[in-house]
C-alpha cells in the first residue's frame, strides 16, 4: 500500500497550494513594521518549502491505535515516542492517581525551598540503581537537564566536543556555556580524535553525544567514543532519551549495549518517552557532580518540582523495567519485523538495524507532507520530518515504529 501511494504522489499534480489555502489569512500582511514583516516572511518561506507544521488533534489516550478529531475510525499510530506502550498503562495510571491522593497535585515550589517529597528522593535512588550510578537529579524535562548541565560544570578554560547531529537541547545547553566548542562529524571517530587533539590544552574535555539519534535512528559507537576519551583524557556525556528502557539487553541504554556503563561520566534522559510518556527528565552520574547541579543548575533551581503523579507512576516503571525485559523484547522483535518488511517493499530505510526509530527516506518535503496526509486517510497516523544535514534537506516520513502493536498492524 505505502509503495503504491509513494509512486502515485510522485507523479500526481501537487496539492500543496490547496493545503496552503487553509492558512490564507496568515499569508497576508499589510504591515510595514519589521517584526511583522519578518514573521510573515518566515511563515511564507516554511509554507513554500513544505516544512510548515500543523497539529492534528488526538481525542483518545496515547496508544497503538488512537482517535483523531473529525475521524470516525481509529488510526494506527506510527510516530509516538511511546516505545514500550506505557503511556496509557492501567497500572501506571492507578499509581499516578494514588500519588495524587497521598502527595497532592503539585508542590508550588522549587525543590530546595519546599518542593522535595520522599517520593522524589525514592525515584532518584531507583534511577541511580537502574543506571548503576551514584546519584540522580530530577528536572521538569530532559531539555532542562541538558540546558542546566554544561553551564554549571564547564567554564572558558574547558572544551566541549559535540556530535554534529546532537539534539537541539544539547546544542542549546552548549550555547549557554562559555567553554570552547568543537564539533565532530556525525559518529566519525577520525573527526572526533582530530577535535580532541585540537582541544588538547583545555582543562576539561567533555565529549557530548546522543546515545540514539532521534531523527536518524543511528546508535552512537559509545565503545569507540569512550576509548578515544580515555586515550585523550576526556569525559563522556550521553543523552539517552531515545534509549532508556529498551536499548541494550535489559533496557539500560546505549552504554549497556556498547559495554561501557562504567566509562560514561554522566547520562541525561527523560520520563516522557518510553517510561510512561508524561513529563520529566533527569541527570545521573557521580554524587559530587549531582550535588553541584543541585546547587548551581538554573533549570533545577528556578523550576517547579516534578508533579507527584508523574513521580508515582515513574516509580512503578523503574520497578517493572528492573525485573522484566518482556516489553523491550517485544519492541525488538517488532523492530526487526518492520524494518525487514519495509525494505522488502522497496523503501529506503536508514538507521541502525537494532533501533526502533525507522526513518523512511522520501527525499522531498512536499511529497512527505502529502504522503502523510494520504496515509491518514488510509488509517495510518504518520508525520513528515525534515532534518538539515549539511546543505541537504532530507525527509524522514513515517519516522518510527515506536510503540507496542501486533505484527498485523505493522505492514
Q: Which residues are designated catalytic?
A: 214, 242, 273
**In whole angstroms, how far apart are CA 117 and each of 61, 107, 247, 276, 308?**
28, 9, 30, 21, 8
User: What is the sign of the dihedral through the CA atoms of 153, 155, 159 and 165?
Assistant: positive
Strand partners, 237: 208, 266
Q: CA nearest 49: which of 101, 14, 73? A: 14
Cα torsion 334, 337, 342, 344 to 10°: value is 180
Strands laid side by side in the 281-285 sheet: 135-139, 281-285, 266-270, 235-239, 205-210, 159-163, 180-184
CA distance 329 to 258: 18
Residue by residue, DSSP assigns 278-333 as SS-EEEEE-HHHHHHHHHH-HHHHTSPPPPHHHHHHHHHHHHHHHH--HHHHHHHH
C-beta separation of 167 from 239 below 8 A: yes
Spell out the residues 6+ positions from residue 332 whose beta carbon is closer than 8 angstroms to its own. Answer: 246, 354, 356
Measured from the Cβ of residue 370, the count of other Cβ atoms closer than 10 Å reads 25
C-beta separation of 161 from 182 below 8 A: yes
Amino acid at each position: 500500500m505505502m509503495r503504491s501511494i509513494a509512486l502515485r504522489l510522485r507523479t500526481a499534480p501537487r496539492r500543496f497550494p490547496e493545503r496552503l489555502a487553509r492558512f490564507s489569512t496568515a499569508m497576508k500582511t499589510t504591515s510595514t513594521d519589521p517584526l511583522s514583516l519578518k514573521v510573515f516572511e518566515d511563515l511564507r518561506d516554511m509554507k513554500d518549502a513544505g516544512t510548515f507544521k500543523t497539529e492534528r488533534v488526538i481525542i483518545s489516550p496515547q496508544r497503538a491505535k488512537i482517535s483523531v478529531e473529525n475521524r470516525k475510525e481509529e488510526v494506527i499510530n506510527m510516530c509516538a515516542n511511546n516505545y514500550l506502550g506505557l503511556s496509557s498503562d492501567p497500572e501506571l495510571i492507578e499509581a499516578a492517581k494514588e500519588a495524587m491522593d497521598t502527595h497532592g497535585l503539585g508542590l508550588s515550589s522549587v525543590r530546595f525551598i519546599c518542593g522535595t517529597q520522599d517520593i522524589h528522593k525514592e525515584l532518584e535512588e531507583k534511577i541511580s540503581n537502574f543506571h548503576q550510578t551514584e546519584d540522580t537529579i530530577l528536572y521538569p524535562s530532559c531539555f532542562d537537564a541538558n540546558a542546566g548541565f554544561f553551564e554549571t560544570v564547564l567554564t572558558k578554560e574547558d572544551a566541549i566536543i559535540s556530535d554534529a547531529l546532537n539534539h537541539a537541547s544539547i546544542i542549546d545547553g552548549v550555547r549557554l556555556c562559555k567553554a570552547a566548542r568543537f564539533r565532530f562529524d556525525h559518529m566519525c571517530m577520525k573527526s572526533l580524535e582530530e577535535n580532541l587533539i585540537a582541544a588538547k590544552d583545555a582543562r576539561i574535555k567533555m565529549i557530548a553525544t546522543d546515545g540514539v539519534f532521534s531523527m536518524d535512528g543511528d546508535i552512537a559507537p559509545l565503545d569507540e567514543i569512550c576509548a578515544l576519551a580515555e586515550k585523550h583524557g576526556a569525559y563522556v556525556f550521553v543523552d539517552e532519551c531515545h534509549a532508556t528502557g529498551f536499548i541494550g539487553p535489559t533496557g539500560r541504554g546505549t552504554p549497556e549495549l556498547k559495554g561501557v556503563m562504567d566509562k560514561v561520566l554522566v547520562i541525561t534522559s527523560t520520563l516522557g518517552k518510553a517510561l510512561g510518556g508524561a513529563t520529566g527528565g533527569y541527570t545521573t552520574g557521580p554524587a559530587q557532580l549531582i550535588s553541584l547541579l543541585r546547587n548551581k543548575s538554573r533549570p533545577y533551581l528556578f523550576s517547579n518540582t516534578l508533579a507527584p503523579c508523574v513521580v508515582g507512576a515513574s516509580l512503578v516503571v523503574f520497578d517493572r523495567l528492573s525485573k522484566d525485559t518482556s516489553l523491550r523484547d517485544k519492541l525488538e522483535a517488532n523492530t526487526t519485523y518492520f524494518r525487514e518488511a519495509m525494505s522488502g517493499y522497496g523503501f529506503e530505510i536508514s538507521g541502525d538495524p537494532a533501533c526502533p526509530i525507522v526513518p523512511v527516506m522520501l527525499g522531498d518535503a512536499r511529497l512527505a507532507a502529502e504522503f502523510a496526509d494520504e496515509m491518514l486517510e488510509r488509517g495510518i497516523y504518520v508525520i513528515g520530518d525534515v532534518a538539515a544535514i549539511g546543505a541537504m534537506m532530507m525527509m524522514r516520513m513515517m519516522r518510527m515504529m515506536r510503540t507496542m502493536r501486533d505484527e498485523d498492524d505493522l505492514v
